[in-house]
Structure 1
Amino acid sequence: MTGQTVDRAFLLRHPLPLPEGEVDKDARGRVIVIGGSREVPGAALLAGLSALRAGAGKVQIATVESRAAALGIAMPEARVLGLPESEGGDIEASAAQVLLTRIKQEDAVLLGPGMLDDDVAGDLAAELLSSLDGPHLVVDAAALTGLREKVGTLKKHSGRSVITPHAGEMATFLGDQKQAVEADAPGAARRAAAATGAVVVMKGTCTHIASPQGQVWECKHGNVGLATSGSGDTLAGIIAGLLARGAHPLLAAQWGVYMHGEAGQRLCQSHGLLGYLAREIPFQIPKIMMDLNGRPNELQA
């Protein structure tokens, strides 16, 4: 099935779960972001901030030891764990055993933002996914491309995971040419969803969201200003936050993609089409959720 559109009307028909009764920050949902590297520590910060802005109650960031203290100061809302790092500055695969003890209590795990080495990230991701059982997953960036020959570790988590590649990452993951992926983005998303059992967010000017059952939705909301460093990290964080608070993977992906685009629309109005920053995207999310749930006619599809 194709031609389904994620817009304001769609989200009104498919609302997000909201907290009910007396709940504490643990009941609001817990997220752990595993990512960052010596050269790109800020990606994990952007993702963690986005998860909180999407409504999660608690965030942990697990990153390379040399950057952990700085991230803890930059984001005082997060608990930050420093991990052994490779010679190139990525999280070592040997950190998996430490991480598994932390992940047990989490509702959602985001793996990959800011990781640079496909092989190192893939080894860590495979080790974690082989042993992990329970939480929802978002797999992004080098953690995803590093699993291109270990797809079975993702398949184990069918029904509770989301992957978020852009065209280049999708081409690497599928072993295809980037031009071929761009020529048939819905088909590439559908193939990846079938292979992994994950909901696929195929990022682009028109983002395609594919379910493991072969359905594809499209979302053209947003603008070219979203094509900026760190923007994908915020999208992954938003989706992880929605998963943690109880949205199922397909709904989290649909809402996350639309709200990311709407944040770009609002930033365009206040800052101009080009030049707004990824760090400004998360701050738009609570107001977007409030407008859509409380005053939906203010939001433009």
Structure 2
Amino acid sequence: ESANQLIGVLERASVLVVGPGLGQAAWGRSLLSAVANAERPQVWDADALNLLARTPLALPSGSILTPHPGEAARLLGISTEAVQADRPGAARKLARRYASVCVLKGAGTLVADPAGQLALCERGHPAMAGAGLGDVLTGVLAALLAQGLDAWSAASLGVWLHACAGERLGVKGRGLAASDLAPVIRELLEEHSACLA
């Protein structure tokens, strides 16, 4: 199989999610160029970010990057400690470097755009550190982009929805599974539909 076989799929998609399950082998690397050339909104996460750190590419307008501090460090060529010491600066540098909105995940998730705009989400819960919860955020961001929101709005709203859902579930005193979040995100969207119209 080659990345060329996916060109038809890429042309039909209105939004692309790149990274979760991609792997870092040759096939994943070959896919990146094809995806980066697809002029549609994209959400880059996980393995795509690790590959991007080694293979600089220009991303399409309207893209969102979703690194955790370790991925951000690789993308910037600095230590994770340096990212954590200046999270706002790291988020802004990534947004400028890739001309994309950057969602720097972690306690106090940050959303930055290439113009230097920055938003801090102080919501969330420690139980959100589980496997797959970042993939849920990636899916929420892609869904919001597919509904026509611009990258900044999709990232800001998506981070807030994800964090509030985790907060609502986390207070119940148990660990969170990725599958727990979707129904609560839907509840939040319904509760706040007047604000989102």
- Measured against the shorter chain, the TM-score band is over 0.9
Contact 2:36 2:57 in 1 (8 A): no
Residue from 165, 168, 188 that aligns with 1:288: 188
Measure, in 2, the Cα distance between the counterparts of 1:295 and 1:180.
37
Shift in alpha-carbon separation, 1:106–1:97, aligned structure 2, 3 A:
same
Measure, in 1, the Cα distance between the counterparts of 2:89 and 2:195.
36
Contact 2:92 2:113 in 1 (8 A): yes
Measure, in 2, the Cα distance between the counterparts of 1:183 and 1:268.
27
SS at match of 1:281: helix
Measure, in 1, the Cα distance between the counterparts of 2:12 and 2:24.
28
What's the TM-score once normalised by structure 2's chain length? 0.93
Q: Does 1:150 align with 2:55?
A: yes
Deviation at 1:214, TM superposition (A): 1.0
Deviation at 1:168, TM superposition (A): 0.5
Q: Does 1:114 align with 2:21?
A: yes
Measure, in 2, the Cα distance between the counterparts of 1:173 and 1:245.
29
Measure, in 1, the Cα distance between the counterparts of 2:17 and 2:188.
22
How many residue pairs get aligned? The number is: 196
Task: Read off the aligned partner of 2:5 and give its amino acid letter.
Answer: V
Shift in alpha-carbon separation, 1:262–1:100, aligned structure 2, 3 A:
same
Measure, in 2, the Cα distance between the counterparts of 1:275 and 1:165.
22
Higher helix share: 2
Q: Does 1:125 align with 2:25?
A: no
SS at match of 1:153: coil
SS at match of 2:52: coil
Measure, in 2, the Cα distance between the counterparts of 1:265 and 1:196.
31
Task: Read off the aligned partner of 1:152 and give its amino acid letter.
Answer: L
Identity %: 35
SS at match of 1:152: coil
5 Å matches for 1:208-287?
208-269=110-171, 271-272=172-173, 274-287=174-187
Q: Runs of 5+ in structure 2 lacking a partner?
A: none
Contact 1:208 1:217 in 2 (8 A): yes
Contact 1:113 1:233 in 2 (8 A): yes
Deviation at 1:126, TM superposition (A): 2.3
Listed one character per residue, the Cα deviations across residues 222-274 of structure 1 (whole Å, up to 9, x for unaligned) are 110111000100000000000001111000000100000111112124x31x4
What's the TM-score once normalised by structure 1's chain length? 0.62
**Structure whose CA Rg is larger:** 1
Q: Does 1:197 align with 2:99?
A: yes
Q: Runs of 5+ in structure 1 lacking a partner?
A: 1-83, 85-93, 297-301
5 Å matches for 1:7-26?
none
